[in-house]
Amino acid sequence: MTHQITFLLPTLLLVLLAASVIDASQEAQLIKFMESRAMKRLFRNKPSSNGPSEADPWADPSSFSHLLTLSMSPPESTKEADRIAALPGQPRGVNFAQFAGYVTVDEKHGRELFYYFVESPYAASSKPLILWLNGVANVIFLESPAGVGFSYSMNTSDYDDVGDQRTAEDTYVFLVNWFNRFPEYKGRDFYIAGESYGGHYVPQIATIINFVNHAFNETPFNLRGIFVGNPLLDDFRNDEGNLEFLWSHGVISDEVWAKILANCTFTSSDDWPCFVAAHSFQRGNIDRYNIYAPVCLHSQDGTSRSSSYLPGYDPCIDDYVPRYLNNPDVKKALHARADINWSNCTLELAWSDAPVSMVPTIKRLVKNGLSVWIYSGDMDSICSLTATRYSVKDLNLTVTHKWRPWYTPDSEVGGYVQQYEGGFTLASVRGAGHLVPSFQPKRSLVLLYSFLKGMLPPADVPKIKRTTPALHANASEEARFREFVRSKRSRTISSSNAYSEQELEAKFNRRLKAEYSASEQSNLKAVDKITPDGVGFNQYGGYVTVDKKNGRALFYYFVEATTDAAAKPLLLWLNGGPGCSSVGYGAMIELGPFRINSDNKTLSRNEYAWNNVANVLFLESPAGVGFSYSNTSLDYDKSGDQRTADDSYIFLINWIERFPEYKGRAFYISGESYAGHYAPQLAATILTHNINSKRAVINLQGILVGNPSLDVFKNLKGQIDYLWSHGVISDEVHDNITKNCKFSSSDGKACSDAMDAYDSGNTNPYDIYGPVCITAPDGKFYPSCYVPGYDPCSNYYIHAYLNNPMVQKAFHARLTTWLGCKNLPWKDAPVSMVPTLKWLMEHGLPVWLYSGDLDSVCPLTATRYSISDLGLAVTEPWRPWTANRAVGGYVQQYTGGLVLISVRGSGHQVPYFQPEKALIVVSSFLRGALPP
């Protein structure tokens, strides 16, 4: 077995044991190490039962007694000899001192560890030392053990006798000698920090230092605390947590997860069936250390590029670092040996000892009064937040400050934090992978600063806050759906509201009176055409009457395909809410041909518009939504699922008369969110009328719904499980909800109170990692951070643009005050759409559901629960699908034509958050072929 971790050691205030560079092979090394340990456990002789727990090798301090008699020779080098004049290629204006060189830790064997040390640019004499971030502390980066990076031994047998204890002892000796070289740091506040396998290194070194400090009155170590990120703390807890993380984040299927739970106990008794189950899935080309990050793509010509753009992060950095550090001029500047070929990871080290669990060691450190902070980037699947929580739970500490959001100065939620007795602190870092300072440098700095100050990170940022303007506070699709769900939670819903399969056909088996005549429609197409031309496709906008008596009319916006429109299918798009605009949201910020610019006046082309592959019809339904209206105001009080389906059907019959060239054309229904009701209900209405007419009045070929609301109770359960698994709610809150909620109509106030007992903070629940719109004290608004192609302030632009009289005139809309969503009284809505979906599939209709996996309101978890209720067999197992040579998401097919697709890295409005991936999904759907 081989093992190596290049780790960074900040001294004086902080010793950071971590990877000195970001490197794919370094990441792979930890995976290889953990898997090799798993294989050893698998093939060794195991006890018949779980057997006794592993002896704690760090419990007896006498094993370190030889360090007390350590004789320190005078420094073999001097501080000034190690001073770096300048590194090749460094930017101008570097205002801090840098040092690098070797410290001997074993004279007999000639074992020397290499370090790189940077002092703080400001008041270095009064600050401690920290890794990654200048300005907070002085920082030493240590390459350990010998054989890693520039560190070496003259006795090559040392590389065959490496392990946790040797690493800890050598690091201790290094520190003692380093303090002699830099005596001004003796007695300075000193912290140890690290990440990953630093979950072993850091507590172990702290244990040795504590032992030495108790043995002597005076030592150079004024150890104040330890700070460890995404730590490997317990082999079994890590295995369990990581696999659960992969299931809850949509990487492995329900079926694989069930197989894992059936075969694995996550103890030493696990055997071959568990190993097979835990390796029976494809994750595809994703970065396991940040499952949502871009990956580095290598071409045959030797060039490389990132699969997508993520501000501040380059996945191809591994290609640059070795070339730089092996440059002879760089080695000379660093005072490194010229004959060493630097690499991020050393494969030849044989790792001899590593305890299964570090929990007992950490518990002793907390008991001895040491400040212990653990933080976790919540996108890491290798040392996941889920796994860390399991190990923290094993500490059995009492909570003193409950799980809450913490904030950065730019008013973003940096993560969540909870404190326990003894000062033990667990913090998550939102949107970060394994190497938190690389993925989220600003957030990691806030957290580190709080650790050094001995205070929890900020609970709020009062000067700049997120506010939702009145003009769309209740008008956004997201806010409307959230309000609708809450209203349904607040009242008891009879299970009889869910239609049985037999009732469904009777429900839709009534002929709607078609409110049209051919003569009334024949001349309206030309009137509805939007002019002038010049965009390369035809556009139309106008009204179709669905109830003459009451004067009820629905507004539509229609864009023909950019090429070969006559041969392409017709696709209807329905936004949800219920009561939200398909024109404002679907057409103008999601899948339409244009996006509204931030000047509120101009449009830009959407490269990934769905009219690249279909003729797309956007319908504002029911009456009262967007530009749709009724001359009888009482109509608005009769809104509900049934009225919406009936009116939409009448609309389509009339619309096809207006556009007769689409009669018989392949027709598809698509939508998102509450369209999980609209689309299946309209489809059932169409199929029923086709059956009764014994002809295809409308040639319906399938439905496609994104992040659908399918079942009230399954959606609530899915939300709660999603929020826990993604680190938004605490173990304690989740346990209380599980205790008080059955997720059925019998749930009462205790359940409601339990579900309301958390604070998600200033985040967008429809994309929990996305930026939010910030309103400054001067009234200006701006995104909290930049994400390519997405602007959380777009509701401002939509509202201003669609209320422009010139725009309304161009659309052939009535001059009115347009709102994105209207809070209509909703009279009927079945608890579950599962029976309807089942009925549709029994009648041969393909049903495709897709889910952006960052949405917490209609999450992938909830959709999976509803699909499980369908009781369908899998025909094509869960697998990754590809977009731009990276994983676009995962897909699975079932009997009856049901397809479930996840869209990786997308929120609720998939065509907005991930337009290229959304276009791949709809193209595959229209072709009737699973995505590549």
If DSSP states are collapsed to H, E and C, what string results for 302-357?
CCEEECCCECCECCCHHHCHHHHHCCHHHHHHHCCCCCCCCCCCCCCCEECCCCCE
Between CA 582 and CA 598 the distance in angstroms is: 20
Mean pLDDT score, 573-582: 94
Cis omega (within 30 of 0) for bond into 220: no
Nearest to 378 by CA among 290, 453, 315, 452: 290
No. of helices (H) and no. of strands (E), the chain? 27, 28
Residue bearing tokens 């000062």 = 423
Distances (CA, A) of 288 to 26, 76, 246, 919: 12, 42, 10, 26
Question: Which pLDDT score, from 0 to 100, does residue 785 have?
Answer: 86
Q: Which residues contact 633 (CB under 8 A, 6 or more apart)?
A: none
pLDDT of amino acid 519: 44
The percentage of the chain sitting over the pLDDT mark of 70, rounded to a whole number, equals 86
pLDDT above 50 (res 352):
yes
Longest C-alpha distance within the chain, in Å?
A: 104
134 has a pLDDT exceeding 70:
no
Query: What's the pLDDT band for 486 if we cut at 50, 70, 90?
Result: low
The pLDDT, as a whole number, for residue 524 is: 87
Phi and psi of 375, rounded to 5°? -125, 155
Q: For residue 787, what are the β-bridge partners?
A: 790
Residue 674 has pLDDT above 90, yes or no: yes
Contacts of 926 (CB under 8 A, 6+ apart): 569, 571, 613, 614, 668
**pLDDT at 271 exceeding the cut of 50:** yes
CB 8 within 8 A of CB 26: no
Rounded CA-CA distance 11/123 in Å is: 16
pLDDT grade, residue 769 (50/70/90)?
Answer: very high
When pLDDT is cut at 50, 70 and 90, the band that residue 696 belongs to is confident
* Residues 290/291/292/298 CA torsion (nearest 10 deg): 80
The C-alpha atoms of residue 656 and residue 661 are separated, in whole angstroms, by: 8
Structure tokens at 499: 């239609």
Q: How many CA atoms lie within 13 Å of 851's alpha carbon, on the beta-carbon side? A: 32
What integer pLDDT is reported at residue 1 of this predicted model?
37
Neighbours of 150 (CB within 10 A): 24
Per-residue pLDDT at 697 exceeds 90: no
Q: What is the mean pLDDT of residues 490-496?
A: 45
Q: How large is the average pLDDT for residues 461-478?
A: 46
Q: Answer yes or no: is pLDDT of 41 > 70.
A: no
| C-beta separation of 889 from 902 below 8 A | yes
At 160, the amino acid letter reads D
Helix (H) or strand (E) holding 630: strand 629-630
* DSSP class of 54: P
pLDDT at site 232: 94
From residue 915, alpha-carbon distances to 447, 458, 611, 703, 932 in Å are 34, 35, 13, 19, 16
Q: pLDDT value at position 350? A: 79
- Helix/strand/coil for 814: coil
Max avg pLDDT among 133-137, 351-355, 371-375, 790-794: 371-375
The full DSSP string for 257-299 is HHHHHHH--SSTT--HHHHHHHT-S---S-BTTBTTS--EEE-
Q: Does residue 50 surpass a pLDDT of 80? A: no
CA gap 30, 13 in Å, rounded:
27
Cβ pair 284, 887 in contact under 8 A: yes
pLDDT at 736: 95
Distance CA 404, CA 25 (A): 35
What local confidence, expressed as pLDDT, does residue 591 receive?
97
CATH number, domain 477-711+799-927: 3.40.50.1820
Q: Which of 482-491, 689-698, 830-839 has the highest mean pLDDT?
A: 830-839
Going by DSSP bridges, is the β-strand pair 594-596/413-420 parallel, antiparallel, or unpaired? unpaired
Report the pLDDT value the prediction gives residue 462, as an integer from 0 to 100: 54
End-to-end CA gap in the chain: 37
- Dump pLDDT digits (tens) for 518-528: 446 768 899 99
522-575 pLDDT, tens per residue?
688 999 999 877 899 999 999 999 999 999 999 999 999 999 999 999 999 999
Where does CATH 3.40.50.1820 sit in the chain? 15-42+80-235+322-453, 477-711+799-927
Predicted confidence at residue 42, as pLDDT, reads 63
User: What residue type is assigned to position 547 of the chain?
Assistant: D
pLDDT at 258: 95
In this predicted structure, what is the pLDDT of residue 489? 57
Nearest to 863 by CA among 908, 919, 827: 908
Neighbours of 752 (CB within 10 A): 15
Nearby residues of 230 by Cβ (< 8 Å), 6 or more positions away: 195, 196, 375, 376, 377, 380, 382, 383, 384, 388, 434, 436
Q: How confident is the model at residue 642 (pLDDT cuts 50, 70, 90)?
A: very high
Q: Would you say residue 491 has pLDDT above 60?
A: no
The pLDDT of residue 132 is: 38
Give the Cα separation of 652 and 888 in Å (integer): 34
Contact (CB, 8 A) for 109 and 153 = yes
Q: State pTM to two decimals.
A: 0.91
Residue bearing the bigger pLDDT, 179 or 703: 703
Lowest mean pLDDT segment, chosen from 119-128, 504-513, 803-812? 504-513
Q: How confident is the model at residue 506 (pLDDT cuts 50, 70, 90)?
A: low
Mean pLDDT of the 56-83 span: 76
Compute how many other C-beta atoms are within 10 angstroms of the C-beta atom of residue 838: 20
Supply the mean pLDDT for the chain: 87
The C-alpha atoms of residue 767 and residue 671 are separated, in whole angstroms, by 18
Mean pLDDT, residues 777-789: 85
What is the per-residue pLDDT for 454? 94
Protein fold of 15-42+80-235+322-453: Rossmann fold (3.40.50)
**pLDDT-based confidence at 481, cuts 50/70/90?**
low
pLDDT at residue number 767:
95
Give the pLDDT of residue 490: 55
Assess contact for 847 and 703: CB atoms under 8 A: yes
DSSP letter at 881 equals E
Residues 15-31 have a mean pLDDT of: 48
473: pLDDT confidence band, cut at 50, 70 and 90? very low
Among 374, 466, 474, which Cα is nearest to 424's?
374
**Of all residues in the chain, what percent carry a pLDDT higher than 90?**
66
Lowest mean pLDDT segment, chosen from 21-30, 193-202, 409-418, 775-784: 21-30
Predicted confidence at residue 461, as pLDDT, reads 64
Residue 891: strand pairing partners: 879, 901
Strand 886-894 vs strand 874-883: parallel, antiparallel, or unpaired?
Answer: antiparallel
pLDDT the model gives residue 570 = 98
pLDDT at position 140, please?
Answer: 76
Enumerate the active-site residues: 673, 855, 908
Q: Which of 23-27, 713-717, 795-799, 848-852 has the lowest mean pLDDT?
A: 23-27
